[in-house]
Structure 1
Amino acid sequence: MDFCALDFETATHEKNSACELGICIVQNSKIVETKTWLIKPPSYPYFHPRNIDVHGIYPEDVKDAPTFEDIWYEVEEMMYGTLMIAHNASFDAGVLRGCFNHYGIFAPTMHYLCSIQLAKKSWDYLPRYGLKHLAEYHNIEFKHHRAGDDAEACAKISLLAFEKLLLTTNEEISDYMKTKIKCL
């Protein structure tokens, strides 16, 4: 089973305002790499105070960081051809689309799955499905609202969910979750 878990943090409410991106690569059902980039968003130096309160990333943290456009080809190479999984995937897919639109980047065909939907199928008895709550339930330690940590926690939760659902291949995931897999 191969997939990548992805998480964005944003500077403002704008979908193109990515200020951090984390990707966790899973190959053969094992985490092989997690990478994080700080990103200088188009709104720089403006960051909404609410966003800073959530993730703790300040404008000075990204003043020398690359833009999304600068890192996209490396990111695309890491993600190429794999299923993308994100916790609350509609948000992360929206940020990805917002960045593509802002920088005029041709959006590749990408399929994505929300780990919340996956968790609900796996543990339908839980009262909450937020990343923090699922991580606590599974004793996964991470720094919440930092993109690399969130991506890796998402990958670990997804792997546990696939194990619980007895899904061992990408084809089985596609068959079982077909109505939940979206196209970017």
Structure 2
Amino acid sequence: MDFCAIDFETATFDRSSACEVGICVVQNSEVVETKTWLIKPPSYPYFSPRNIDVHGIYPEDVKDAPTFDEIWYEMNDLMYGTLMIAHNAAFDAGVLRGCLNHYGIFAPNLNYLCSIQIAKKSWNYLPRYGLKHLAEHHNLSFNHHRAGDDAEVCAKISLLAFEKLFITSNDEIADVMKAKIKKL
């Protein structure tokens, strides 16, 4: 299976305010690379205190960081031609769309899937499906609400879920999860 897991952290409640992104690349059902970028958001230097409380990223952390449009092509190269998976994918797809729109960049032809849906199909007996709870259930440790760590744990949980469902290829993902796969 080939896919990428993605996670965004935002500076404000605005969908274009990405301040960190992480992408974990999976090839042949193995994690091969995880890349993280701090991003200077359009709202800089303003960050919502509530968002800072979640992820711990401050304006001074991104003062010398690139803007989204400066890293987009490198991000796109990592994601090109693969399925994108995110935990609570509606949020991350919304941030990606918001950033692309803000900078006038055409959205790629990208399919995405939510790892919560995959987890619910695989472990329908769990009381909660948050990333932290799924990671604890599978004994995966990570620095929660940091984009690279969240993306990598999302990828690992997805791989475990696919294994439980006996899914071994991208075609099988499409067959089993077809109603849940969305277009960016």
TM-score by shorter chain over 0.5: yes
| Residue number in structure 2 paired with 1:136 | 136
1:95-131 deviation per Cα after TM superposition (whole angstroms, max 9, x unaligned): 0000011000011110000000000000000000000
| Residue number in structure 2 paired with 1:178 | 178
Instruction: Give the AA of the match of 1:68.
Output: F
| Residue number in structure 2 paired with 1:10 | 10
Quote how far apart the aligned CAs of 1:14 are: 0.1
In 1, Cα distance between equivalents of 2:112 and 2:76: 14
Q: When the two structures are superposed, what TM-score results if normalisation uses the length of structure 2?
A: 1.00
1:123-176 deviation per Cα after TM superposition (whole angstroms, max 9, x unaligned): 000000000000000000000000000000000000000000000000000010
Q: Which runs of 5+ in 2 are unaligned?
A: none
In 1, Cα distance between equivalents of 2:100 and 2:54: 24
The reply to whether residue 29 of structure 1 matches residue 29 of structure 2 is yes
Instruction: Give the AA of the match of 2:91.
Output: F
Instruction: Give the AA of the match of 2:146.
Output: R
Q: Secondary structure at the match of 1:177?
A: helix
In 1, Cα distance between equivalents of 2:5 and 2:43: 26
| Residue number in structure 1 paired with 2:106 | 106
In 2, Cα distance between equivalents of 1:138 and 1:45: 38
- List structure 1 runs of 4+ shifted beyond 4 angstroms: none
> What is the total number of aligned residue pairs between the two structures?
184
Q: Which runs of 5+ in 1 are unaligned?
A: none
In 2, Cα distance between equivalents of 1:165 and 1:108: 29
The reply to whether residue 82 of structure 1 matches residue 113 of structure 2 is no
| Residue number in structure 2 paired with 1:157 | 157
In 2, Cα distance between equivalents of 1:30 and 1:153: 13
Computed over aligned residues only, the root mean square deviation of the Cα atoms, in angstroms, reads: 0.2
In 2, Cα distance between equivalents of 1:77 and 1:64: 23
Q: Secondary structure at the match of 1:179?
A: helix
In 1, Cα distance between equivalents of 2:107 and 2:4: 17
The reply to whether residue 61 of structure 1 matches residue 61 of structure 2 is yes
| Residue number in structure 1 paired with 2:20 | 20
Quote how far apart the aligned CAs of 1:24 are: 0.2
In 2, Cα distance between equivalents of 1:3 and 1:165: 17
Q: When the two structures are superposed, what TM-score results if normalisation uses the length of structure 1?
A: 1.00
The reply to whether residue 168 of structure 1 matches residue 135 of structure 2 is no
| Residue number in structure 2 paired with 1:48 | 48
Instruction: Give the AA of the match of 1:83.
Output: L
